[in-house]
Amino acid sequence: MADDFRIDEEGMRQLRAHIFDNGLMPVARDILADAKRAVPIDTGELHDSLGIEERPEEQAVLIGSSDAEYSTYVELGTSKMAAQPYLRPALYQNRKIARGQS
């Protein structure tokens, strides 16, 4: 019966690792590549600092810059500078993939 189906702890660990490696990470790499193509380049610091922080135990990834302190200002703008979004468009471009749609 379907109600009797169980996955042991090791099986669950392997399943989560498979989903992370083959589902989440390819989409994260696509988002990062699109963000790097779209980010405005002045000195190249922001472009070069963009990356992925993997958090497989949380089934999560962080995409962005932890080095360029001004990255949020570029993305969202300020009262003195217009926004130059690069992360949100990259995420939006890959949204169907991330949702499992084609």
Residues 40-87 pLDDT 10s = 999 999 999 999 999 988 889 999 998 999 999 999 999 999 999 999
Find out whether 44 and 11 touch, Cβ atoms under 8 Å.
no
Whole-number pLDDT of residue 29: 94
Among 19, 40, 26, 34, which Cα is nearest to 84's? Answer: 40
Residue 87's domain comprises 8-98
Q: Which residue has the higher pLDDT, 78 or 3?
A: 78
Whole-model pTM?
Answer: 0.80
* 41 found inside a domain: yes
With respect to residue 2, please indicate whether it lies within any of the assigned structural domains: no
Count the domains in the chain. 1
pLDDT digit string (tens) for 7-37? 888 888 888 888 888 888 999 999 999 999 9
**In a domain? residue 3:** no
Answer for the pair 69, 41: CB distance below 8 angstroms, yes or no.
Answer: no
> Alpha helices of the chain — where are they, by DSSP H?
9-19, 25-38, 45-49, 71-76, 87-93, 95-98
